[in-house]
Amino acid sequence: MRELTLAGLFGTLVQRDLLLALRRRADVLTTFFFFVIVVSLFPLGIGAQPETLRTIAPGVVWVAALLASMLALTRLYVWDHADGTLEQLVLSPQPLVVLIGAKVLAHWLVTGLPLVLIAPLLCLQFDVPASALGVMVVSLLLGTPCLSLIGSIGAALTLGVRGGGALLALLVLPLYIPVLIFGAGAVTATAEGMPSAAHLSLLGACLLIALVLGPLASAAAVRIALE
């Protein structure tokens, strides 16, 4: 019975955050169009050299996804903190780790999943081979949840801190580096005719570690921020 209640609460919290995101469409669209604009500016600035564009494409897409994800992190807990919802979640008899996981999932569905879906279309500007487009999608599907899970820790640690945006970037950017390396490396390896399984496996390992440790660390940081 407890599991059913917990699962129901998890789903309700995800649905609530998605509805709130739809009401604040400007914030969601800002992240999405930031990603599109950043990726699209590079072909315009570098010129139409196919070899150069194919070489830089993985890094450009991944860096843009990383920055877009970080742009939305400041709003992960701030609204719930302002209206007292976060305190109610902490006082809830249900495990805070699970509730934080629901919020992170909703954040990824709103900010990460749209980037995964639009990335193959944007990669056409870089003349990326068709074989690498599938790997790009898989790498982003594995990597963008890592960005949300790691970023939630930084967002919780900087909750209520003046100038928290700059501090948040300093906290999470070093932790994003392995995800960036393995994600971009998988696409680059495929484009050069080499196997990408090793990079994707390491990226999957990063996701598993983030799934286990991310909500735990975020829950602890939220409790500290509210004390």
101-113 tens-digit pLDDT: 999 999 999 999 9
- State how far the Cα of 126 lies from the Cα of 119, in Å rounded to an integer: 11
The beta-strand segments (E) located in 9-143 are: none
CA dihedral 104, 105, 107, 109 (to 10 degrees): 170
Lowest mean pLDDT, pick from 2-11, 86-95, 119-128:
2-11
Residue 80 confidence (pLDDT) above 90: no
- State how far the Cα of 142 lies from the Cα of 148, in Å rounded to an integer: 11
The set of residues, in sequence order, having a beta carbon less than 8 Å from that of 16 and lying 6+ positions away, is 106
Q: Is-contact 99 144, C-beta < 8 A? A: no
Apex 126 CA angle, 178 and 41, nearest 5: 85
Q: Which residue has the tokens 């990597």?
A: 143
Of how many residues is the chain composed?
Answer: 227
**What sign does the dihedral 190-192-198-201 (CA atoms) show?**
negative
51-79 tens-digit pLDDT: 888 888 899 999 999 999 888 887 788 88
Cα 53 to Cα 63, 80, 168, 192, distances in angstroms? 15, 42, 31, 13
Residue 118 identity (one-letter amino acid): I
Higher-confidence residue of 173 and 50: namely 173
- State how far the Cα of 26 lies from the Cα of 32, in Å rounded to an integer: 10
For residue 4, how many other CB atoms are within 10 A of its CB?
Answer: 8
The encoded tokens of residue 37 equal: 């604009």
SS3 58: helix
pLDDT mean over 75-96? 84
Q: Is-contact 76 152, C-beta < 8 A? A: yes
pLDDT mean over 107-121? 92
Residue 2 confidence (pLDDT) above 70: no
**pLDDT value at residue 163:** 65
